[in-house]
Structure 1
Amino acid sequence: MKTFRAYMVEQGADRSHKAGFVELNEEALDAGDVLIRVCYSSINYKDALAATGKGRIIRRFPCVAGVDLAGIVERSAAPRFRPGDAVVATSYDIGVARHGGYAEYALVPGGWVLPLPEGMSLRQSMAIGTAGFTAALGVQRMEENGLKPENGPVLVTGATGGVGSLAVDMLARRGYEVVALTGKADQADWLRSLGAARVMLRSEIDLEHVKPLDKGLWAGAVDCLGGDTLAWLASTMKPQGCIASIGLAAGVELKTTVMPFILRGVSLLGIDSGYVGAAVREKVWARLASDLKPAHLNELTREIEFAQLPEEFDRYIAGQAHGRVVVRISD
């Protein structure tokens, strides 16, 4: 194999951060069963933290960043896959503790690779990516917990982000009354175009005076923020309501009481999209190609070339990104 391009994150002896394009060969890749020619990747907030050094995401240096990848199998020691197969791989240690998707080739353990779901293109799989998989896993967990459209409104916090916007789209397609919570008033019409029945601004909520138990408003919630927002959510859930806890953009501490959980039977569902087992992963991806496939995926997605990747990260860190960005790695 000739050398190929990759976006590498490195750390100096003084813990200084460095990231940029390098040339690698196959010998530089980690051990794995499936060699994939990467066609597309995507940008998640986690990727921006890793690439800029703003968060302690990468656990092994040097490391090719990118937690998502989709492409064509070049060579496989895993019986399930053959050269020419279209495949998807996301999460696990990809782009965190082993070389990831921001490279023209990736070598991945066979158990981390899934066949591209029928009815989905490689580009669509990365428009969905870890963000969409996480949102879909949250929806599935809530529905397994009894959530139905007739139960009442479902709130999505951080609604303009990758997870949030896809959750709005998926829930609306499933027939739920979706309320989108955002701090970006200028994105209200865009959120309505994705299916939000109502847009609620964070400035409407008094997070400094959250009651232990407030008026029940929501049958379900997809929470991408955590912190005081999650505490407020817990206090405003309807009886038997459920919250899919997905993100921590507003903080990691949770200052609440047991009252919503023991007096209203509220369920707080932790969503781990990183290491959930292969059987669940395959089931969720199958739904992403069918009843949970976002109806507005094109409107949600912007595509960039591999060379444009570095300039996008600061926009994510500054909170200026919305929807999904697909990175075209190769043809």
Structure 2
Amino acid sequence: METYQALTVDWKDSRLAAEIREYAMNDLPEGEVTIRVAYSGVNYKDGLASIPEGKIVRHYPHVPGIDLAGTVIASSDPAFREGDEVLVTGYGLGVSHPGGFSQVARVPAAWVVPLPPGLSAKAAMAIGTAGFTAALSVHRLEENGLAPGQGPVLVSGATGGVGSWAVAMLARSGYEVTASSRKSAEADYLKGLGAGGAISPADLESPDNRPLSRERWAGAVDPVGGPFLPGVLGSVRYGGSVALSGLTGGTDYAATVFPFILRGVNLLGIDSVQCPMGLRRTVWSRIASEWRPDDALLEAVSHEIALSELPDALAQVLQGRMRGRAVVALSR
């Protein structure tokens, strides 16, 4: 390959615009591993990278895409060889480093995860950062004592990428799952993923703003945060945990210490970006085995788009109009 194409976000007529540009191989950034990218995925963070209000990218032009999966075509690190199937999520990919919305990528070897056996590149990107975050959330909840049979587990923002995968993974592990979504028309979709029931986010609010309400949830996966988080914390059962990974509901919340000191509730911060490589490989191994999606689940949770369709997909994810995951096909 002498050239490759990538979606590029750059200033044009005083506004940020996304367009497909062609690059030469010597335009690639520094890094030990060069990858022919087969698939990427669309995340909320990628949408933020495409707008000035997102404030996660400092320098333009920029190639977004915080996920990629493909095949090594060159490596100066002995841990990886030509032909190896790999994936990369998090670290600086798509933020401080050119990302996965590109037919070729070059990255530091320390960011690269061997594609686990039994997981295709397309399936890995249908899962992507969203599914990895969901899996990391469930993994951390279980490390803190959650087990099937303890009662219902809440998943907020359940029709989004993290929420959809959290519902499916919890259900596959034998948990009773209650899904929260403002999209009432998606109840059948959520039940198809394994949710036992679906509720409105308004149902999570504490009556009269009380710091504690009746104990409803054995645990919770929350990729939303914001004003409903206090109600979730105040209704988790004694010793239970909330795995918090997102801010689509806002960065602030008004709460008290009562859930923590009177019920022993744990608020677990979930970071998929700088997650240590040992834990990262452990979680991807679980994704490829006990949580591996079958074809029906992949079809339910994801849909494939072309590189040319990315600008519209980025707008959809920012507006909360995307169900599940959009997988970007990049190979040619």
C-alpha distance 209-226 of structure 1, shift in aligned 2 (>3 A): farther
Counterpart secondary structure, 2:132: helix
- Pairs within 5 Å for 1:1-331: 1-11=1-11, 16-206=15-205, 209-295=208-294, 296-331=297-332
For 1:206 and 1:48, how far apart are their aligned partners in 2?
A: 29
Secondary structure in 2 matching 1:141? helix
Quick one: structure 1 residues 46 and 208, their matched pair in 2 at CA, closer, same or farther if it must change by over 3 Å? farther
- For residues 47-80 of structure 1, the C-alpha deviation after alignment (integer angstroms, 9 at most, x for no partner) is 1121234411213322211000011100001111
Q: Is the 8 A contact 1:60 1:96 kept in 2?
A: no
What amino acid is aligned across from residue 120 of structure 1 in structure 2? Answer: L
Unaligned residue ranges in structure 2 (runs of 5+): none
1:23 Cα deviation after fit? 1.1
Task: Give the aligned residue type for 1:83.
Answer: E
Gap runs ≥5 in structure 1: none
Q: Distance in 2 between matches of 1:160 and 1:329?
A: 25
Q: C-alpha displacement at 1:90, in angstroms?
A: 0.7
Deviation at 1:11, TM superposition (A): 4.0
- Give the counterpart letter for 2:101 in structure 1: Y
- Could you say what secondary structure the match of 1:166 adopts? helix
Q: Which moved more, 1:312-321 or 1:95-104?
A: 312-321
The one-letter code of the counterpart of 1:329 is L
Paired AA for residue 326 in structure 1:
V
How many Å separate the matches in 2 of 1:203 and 1:89? 37
- Once the two structures are overlaid, the 10-residue window that deviates more, 195-204 or 33-42, is 195-204
User: What amino acid is the match of 2:299?
Assistant: N
Deviation by residue 1:91-125 (Cα, 9 ceiling, x = unmatched): 11001001000111000100100111000001000
Q: Is the 8 A contact 2:207 2:213 kept in 1?
A: no
- How far did 1:149 drift? 0.9
Are the aligned partners of 2:204 and 2:232 in contact in 1 as well (CA < 8 Å)? no
Q: Is the 8 A contact 1:207 1:228 kept in 2?
A: no
Is the CA contact (8 Å cut-off) linking 1:315 and 1:321 kept in structure 2? yes
What TM-score comes out, normalization by structure 2 length?
Answer: 0.96
Return the alpha-carbon distance in structure 1 between the equivalents of residues 292 and 206 of structure 2. 34
Mapped to 1, the partners of 2:206 and 2:10 lie a distance apart of 39
- Comparing 51-60 and 270-279, the one that deviates more: 51-60
Equivalent residues of 1:242, 1:268 under 8 A apart = yes
Q: Check conservation: 2:157, 2:222, Cα contact below 8 A.
A: yes
CA distance in 1, matches of 2:196, 2:30: 48
- 1:114-161 Cα distance to aligned partner (Å, 9 max, x none): 111000001000000000000000000000000001211100000000
Task: Give the TM-score of the pair, scaled to structure 1.
Answer: 0.96
Asked if 2 retains the 8 angstrom alpha-carbon contact of 1:242 and 1:267, the reply is yes
DSSP 3-state at the match of 2:19: strand
Do the aligned partners of 1:136 and 1:284 also contact (CA within 8 Å) in 2? yes
Deviations 1:162-213 (A, max 9, x none): 0000000000000000000000010000100000001111233446843111
CA separation in 2, counterparts of 1:61 and 1:13?
14
Cα RMSD between the aligned structures? 1.5
Aligned to 1:93, what secondary structure does the other structure show? coil
CA contact (8 A) 1:60 1:98 kept: no
Structure 1 residue runs of 4+, over 3 Å off? 11-14, 203-209
Letter in 1 for 2:321: Q
AA of the residue aligned to 2:3:
T
Q: Is the 8 A contact 1:235 1:260 kept in 2?
A: yes
